[in-house]
Chain A
Amino acid sequence: MEIKISQNIKISIISVIAFLVAFSVLPFLVAFSVLPFLVAESPFIEGDFFSGDFSQNRTGFLIGSSHVGRINVTQVNDLIHDDSITIYNLAIAGDSPSKRVRSLEQIISAKPEIIFYGISYRDFNFPYQNIASSILPDPQQILSEKLHDNNPLNNTFPSNPQWYSMHIIRGLLNIIKKEPEHFWEINTPFYPYHRRYGIIATDDDLKNEIVPAKTWIDSKTKINNIHDILKIISEVQKHEIKVIIFTTPLHQYYLDELSNSQKNQLDSLLNDLRENYDVKIYKFEKKYSKLNIWNNLSHVSFNRNVTEYNHDVAEMIRIEMNP
């Protein structure tokens, strides 16, 4: 029996398929971006790393975004001067609490003694626009909360596809130029280093990067990151793993662009963590703001001669692991 499909249905189905095809490319994009011919091969893949044996030594994990990635963990392990301690840098480019929460189980399963979580304004997309509270229900917030907690696709789509697309394009161009530009550091399994991360930017370069702070209108969805960092801390503490929070360093020009509202919002979060979650806080955000050690406004250069950040992180680890 022949089934007749109206033209409207055909057009609708075709549009939906086009939409779905475009979105279904995204997971492949992420997978493709880590292929060995684009990035020098990682010594680990995620599953392998966490199934390793960490019981031989006292283990500490550094977690966070590329801000944490700029910590040279080889240098840090040397500076600690304690062979019984091994620190791993589990930074991931573009990380945020809402992404990190997805690999929380794996992190806990590795049973580290301590976790050092590096955070900054970027993790929470501060500042949010103050939306006057209303007695009426807010459907946007209700939906956001419901979808965030129960969304099976949470792990599937990257939040910044452009980063992956550009990464692949650059990688392909490098293949043509035959110049591999990435390398891996030992004990830093998820963060490949680009050769240019070692450059120390000039003051003019840094000035060119200044972009005024932005206020987020869809604040409700961004608040998920706060919800998730609290969830990470509670879960980790439940498994008797100590958590330390540190704020990652920023250049003075970056700090100058921050509004009081942004600063207050991060301060109030840190106070909340200190008072209600009993978490110790180390603040590095202003510590090197005027030094000549910057790769860009929010990343310390990954340069052999830039050691200040590594020294302070090593000191923090020494204090917290050998109190």
Chain B
Amino acid sequence: MLFSTIDFVVFFLLVLTTIAVIKHKKFQHLFLLGASYFFFYYTSNYLTILLIFSTLLDFYAGREIWKTQNIIHKKIIFLISLSGNLGLLGFFKYADFGISQLNVLTNYLGIESIPFLNLALPIGISFYTFQTISYTADIYRGKLEPSKSLREFALFVAFFPQLVAGPIVRAKDFLPQLREKMENFSSKNLSLILIHDRNLKLGITIMAFGFLKKMFFADNIAPMVNEIFSNTIGATSFEIWLGTIAFAFQIYGDFSGYSDIAIGAALILGFKLPQNFNKPYFAISPSDFWKRWHISLSSWLRDYLYIPLGGNRKSSARTYGNLFIVMILGGLWHGAAINFIIWGTLHGLYLAFHKSLQKFFPKISGSFFFKTKFGKIISISITQYLVLLAWIPFRVQDIDSLLYSMNKFILIDFHVLEVIEFTFTHKLSILVLLLFVILHFISFKKSDIIDTISKFSLKIWFIVLIIISLSIVLFYNGNPEDFIYFRF
């Protein structure tokens, strides 16, 4: 069920009303679980079986890992759980990519090609498998007690606001919220789900901004981006720059909009989901960017991949290697394609370069200049130049077009007229893009803007809601873009 459809609005209102009216703890939890499964079943139909499989596998694996004292048994069970989850993800997401790579080899050897499986990618599989892996991994490391009941664990995996495209939630953050006292994880009592007015108002405000980011900003920038990147060969440098900047804001509006709707919806129900974005285009270094962009994924990769690989505890060479591996796998997580590998590799390079700069030239990176306003502007500009360059392989799949676009992005040809002409034919997209950049800047300067709006008196808050709703409705083009991260 897409958040940006009337189906979701009706579904969410029904869930809220039922939970608000029937104040029975057990019923509320069971109802929320049922509603979450219905939410998933609505678009995924029989593929819901994969979600059930993943839930059952990790619930019982987690329990067994916790119970057994034998280290080897623990390891074996953990490996079974890991291979179950990664096998599922690998089969549905990477089987055809693997076959295509094998076919290159078979063609070379003159052997008959292997036919593609043409599997439908189950929606949300990349998100919920990472969530369940983190659960068993935390139990294996002794950092988490297993869930008290299957119902509770199933709700953690399937909780509808974050099920399809995150944020990727950790069990240690979510499970206590289902219990009576947040600080007492061992409590077995379920908590009553109460809709508090403060959460309700803040949640609705966050959701409204999420819808605005997705349906007003991202969807109205998308036509211009699609046009530029539909046929890049022959485009001028400034057109590629415009397309790349526009795509950077489109994907930000799209994905952070989705995350905001998820966070807002969960908050209304009384659950706090982790923040997923924090003004990413004001990052002052590549590592700072990953603390601001898709935070739940980058922190997952750090905790469950980078650190187990050795992190920065071993030699410098090993640290750089680890960064590369993590970022390439992060790229592959987005999709089985060469362009995502290039995107991941570029970010791996940036991070390794930044790390080496800090190590070998501590005076430069720690200098007073970079703490001044001008120094920060320089840092932000360099970082964003690199981030934008990396967005090109994320957007352009065809290798010839990709190389052409990156070449034009780096080696500027100074043909200005074409881009001026182009902007005149895309006035709405340009205007919306400029507005979004300004809004991003305002949110950087005033970080608690949504919180402030949610504290407005009801009259002023109502006016803000009307303005947001009208902006969405009046500029809805009847041909909405799908959420980009639904593909992952």
Residue positions of A touching B, CB distance < 8 A: 6-8, 10-12, 14-15, 17-19, 21-23, 25-26, 29, 131-132, 134-136, 138-140, 143, 158-163, 165-166, 207-212, 217-218
Contact B45 A165 (CB under 8 A): no
Contact A11 B428 (CB under 8 A): no
Contacts of B458 in A (CB 8 A): 10-11, 14
Contacts of A11 in B (CB 8 A): 197, 200-201, 204, 458
Contact A134 B46 (CB under 8 A): yes
Contacts of A19 in B (CB 8 A): 9, 465, 469
What residue in chain B is nearest A168 (Cβ atoms)?
B474
The smallest C-beta distance from A211 to any residue of chain B, in angstroms, reads: 5
B315 adjacent to chain A (CB < 8 Å): no
Contact B476 A162 (CB under 8 A): yes
Which of the segments B89-97, B134-142, B224-232 contacts the partner chain? B224-232
B288 adjacent to chain A (CB < 8 Å): no
From A11, A19, A131, residue with most partner B Cβ within 10 Å: A11
Q: Please, how many angstroms separate the alpha-carbon atoms of A200 and B405 in the complex?
A: 30
Q: Please, how many angstroms separate the alpha-carbon atoms of A227 and B3 in the complex?
A: 26
Contacts of B472 in A (CB 8 A): 22
Contacts of B204 in A (CB 8 A): 11, 15
The smallest C-beta distance from A189 to any residue of chain B, in angstroms, reads: 24
Contacts A138-B45, A158-B478, A207-B231 given; 13 further ones with Cβ under 8 A?
A: A7-B197, A8-B196, A11-B201, A11-B204, A21-B466, A22-B466, A25-B470, A136-B46, A140-B1, A161-B477, A162-B475, A217-B482, A218-B2
From A12, A139, A163, A212, residue with most partner B Cβ within 10 Å: A12
Within 8 A of A (CB), among B1-53: 1-2, 5, 7, 9, 20, 38, 41-43, 45-46
B462 adjacent to chain A (CB < 8 Å): yes
Q: Kindly supply a per-residue 1/0 record for chain B positions 446-486, scoring 1 wherever the CB is within 8 Å of any chain A CB and 0 otherwise.
A: 00000000000010011001100110111111110010001
Q: Please, how many angstroms separate the alpha-carbon atoms of A135 and B49 in the complex?
A: 13
Which residue of the partner chain, among A14, A131, A138, A208, contacts B461 with CB atoms under 8 Å?
Answer: A14
Contacts of A14 in B (CB 8 A): 458, 461-462, 465
Which residue of the partner chain, among A15, A131, A161, A211, contacts B227 with CB atoms under 8 Å?
Answer: A211
Q: Please, how many angstroms separate the alpha-carbon atoms of A15 and B354 in the complex?
A: 46
Residue positions of B touching A, CB distance < 8 A: 1-2, 5, 7, 9, 20, 38, 41-43, 45-46, 120, 195-197, 200-201, 204, 220, 223, 226-227, 230-231, 422, 425, 428, 458, 461-462, 465-466, 469-470, 472-479, 482, 486
What residue in chain A is nearest B483 (Cβ atoms)?
A217
Contact A160 B465 (CB under 8 A): no
Contact A139 B462 (CB under 8 A): no
8 A-B pairs closest in CB distance? A22-B469, A160-B478, A18-B465, A7-B197, A162-B477, A159-B478, A22-B473, A165-B474
Contact A136 B45 (CB under 8 A): yes
The smallest C-beta distance from A72 to any residue of chain B, in angstroms, reads: 26
Q: Please, how many angstroms separate the alpha-carbon atoms of A310 and B32 in the complex?
A: 60
The smallest C-beta distance from A82 to any residue of chain B, in angstroms, reads: 40
Q: Please, how many angstroms separate the alpha-carbon atoms of A159 and B473 in the complex?
A: 11
19 A/B residue pairs, CB under 8 Å, sorted by A: A11-B197, A11-B201, A14-B465, A18-B462, A19-B469, A21-B469, A22-B472, A26-B473, A29-B474, A131-B120, A139-B42, A159-B478, A161-B473, A161-B477, A162-B478, A207-B231, A208-B227, A211-B223, A218-B2
Q: Please, how many angstroms separate the alpha-carbon atoms of A6 and B200 in the complex?
A: 12
Q: Please, how many angstroms separate the alpha-carbon atoms of A132 and B46 in the complex?
A: 10
The smallest C-beta distance from A21 to any residue of chain B, in angstroms, reads: 6
Contacts of A8 in B (CB 8 A): 20, 195-197, 200
Contact B227 A143 (CB under 8 A): no
Contacts of A21 in B (CB 8 A): 466, 469-470
The smallest C-beta distance from B46 to any residue of chain A, in angstroms, reads: 5
Which residue of the partner chain, among A136, A143, A208, A212, contacts B7 with CB atoms under 8 Å?
Answer: A143
Contact B473 A23 (CB under 8 A): yes
Contacts of B45 in A (CB 8 A): 131, 134, 136, 138
Contacts of A162 in B (CB 8 A): 220, 428, 474-478
The smallest C-beta distance from A92 to any residue of chain B, in angstroms, reads: 14
Q: Please, how many angstroms separate the alpha-carbon atoms of A134 and B45 in the complex?
A: 8
Contact A161 B46 (CB under 8 A): no
Contacts of A23 in B (CB 8 A): 473
From A15, A23, A26, A212, residue with most partner B Cβ within 10 Å: A15
Contacts of B200 in A (CB 8 A): 8, 11-12
Contacts of A163 in B (CB 8 A): 477-478
What residue in chain A is nearest B476 (Cβ atoms)?
A161
The smallest C-beta distance from A287 to any residue of chain B, in angstroms, reads: 25
The smallest C-beta distance from B351 to any residue of chain A, in angstroms, reads: 33
Contacts of B473 in A (CB 8 A): 22-23, 25-26, 161
The smallest C-beta distance from A7 to any residue of chain B, in angstroms, reads: 4
Contact A132 B120 (CB under 8 A): yes
What residue in chain A is nearest B46 (Cβ atoms)?
A134
Contacts of A15 in B (CB 8 A): 204, 465
